[in-house]
C-alpha cells in the first residue's frame, strides 16, 4: 500500500485537544463540521493547508497524547489527511487510528520540511521524500494491520467479516 502527499509539519507533543479542541466535544457532532476546526488552537490556518487525499501530517515525538477521545483521529481522517508520520505516537491514539483506518507511520521526521512531497510505502517500510530525493526507512506495517487499513479500519473489518480472520 502506497500513500503520497504534501508534508504539513507539526512540533512535538501534539495532544488530542490540539487536534480538536475539547470545547467542541459535545457542541459539534457532525464530523465534517468538526474537521473545519482541526488544529485551530495551534494554527488557525491549518485547514487551509490541507489538500484532501494529498496531505500527510509530519510531526515529532509523542503525537496524539492526552485523552482517549476517538474524535481526534476521526477528525484527521475526515479532513482528508492520508497519513500521519511522526517519531512516535501515544499508544491509545495509535490504536484508535487503526480502528478507524487512519494510517500512522513511525519514522525519523527531522529531515522533512513543510511542503515536501512524500511517498510512503507501507509494505516495504520506506518513506521517499521526492522533494529532496531522500529515503527514510521505517518498520513495515504488519500484513494484518495493512488489511485493517484496506478495509477502512478494525471496525469496518469486523462488520464485514464478523471477526478477525488472522
Res 111 pLDDT > 70 = yes
| Span 68-85, pLDDT tens digits | 878 999 999 999 999 999
The average confidence (pLDDT) of the chain is 93
Residue 166 covered by a domain: no
d(CA 40, CA 150): 30
d(CA 89, CA 100): 16
Give the domain extent around 153.
Answer: 2-161
Residue 62 covered by a domain: yes
Q: What is the count of structural domains for the chain?
A: 1
pTM strictly above 0.85: yes
Res 166 pLDDT > 70 = no
Residue 128 covered by a domain: yes
| Span 21-49, pLDDT tens digits | 888 877 888 899 999 999 999 999 999 99
Cα atoms found within 13 Å of the Cα of residue 24, Cβ hemisphere only: 24
What's 83's domain CATH number?
3.20.19.10
* pLDDT band of 92, cuts 50, 70, 90: very high
Helix (H/G/I), strand (E/B), else coil: 72:
helix
Residue 17 covered by a domain: yes
Residue 130 covered by a domain: yes
Helix (H/G/I), strand (E/B), else coil: 89:
strand
Amino acid at each position: 500500500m502506497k500513500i503520497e502527499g504534501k508534508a504539513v509539519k507539526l512540533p512535538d507533543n501534539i495532544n488530542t485537544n490540539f487536534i480538536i479542541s475539547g470545547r467542541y466535544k459535545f457542541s459539534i457532532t457532525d464530523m465534517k463540521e468538526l474537521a473545519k476546526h482541526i488544529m485551530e488552537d495551534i494554527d488557525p490556518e491549518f485547514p487551509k493547508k490541507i489538500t484532501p487525499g494529498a496531505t500527510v501530517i509530519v510531526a515529532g515525538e509523542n503525537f496524539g497524547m492526552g485523552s482517549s477521545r476517538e474524535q481526534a483521529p476521526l477528525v484527521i481522517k475526515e479532513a482528508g489527511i492520508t497519513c500521519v508520520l511522526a517519531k512516535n505516537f501515544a499508544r491509545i491514539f495509535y490504536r484508535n487510528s487503526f480502528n478507524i483506518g487512519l494510517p500512522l507511520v513511525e519514522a525519523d521526521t527531522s529531515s522533512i520540511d513543510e511542503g515536501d512531497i512524500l511517498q510512503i510505502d507501507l509494505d516495504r517500510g520506506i518513506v521517499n521524500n521526492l522533494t529532496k530525493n531522500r529515503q527514510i526507512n521505517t518498520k513495515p506495517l504488519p500484513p494484518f494491520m495493512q488489511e485493517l487499513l484496506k478495509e477502512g479500519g478494525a471496525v469496518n473489518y469486523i462488520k464485514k467479516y464478523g471477526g478477525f480472520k488472522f
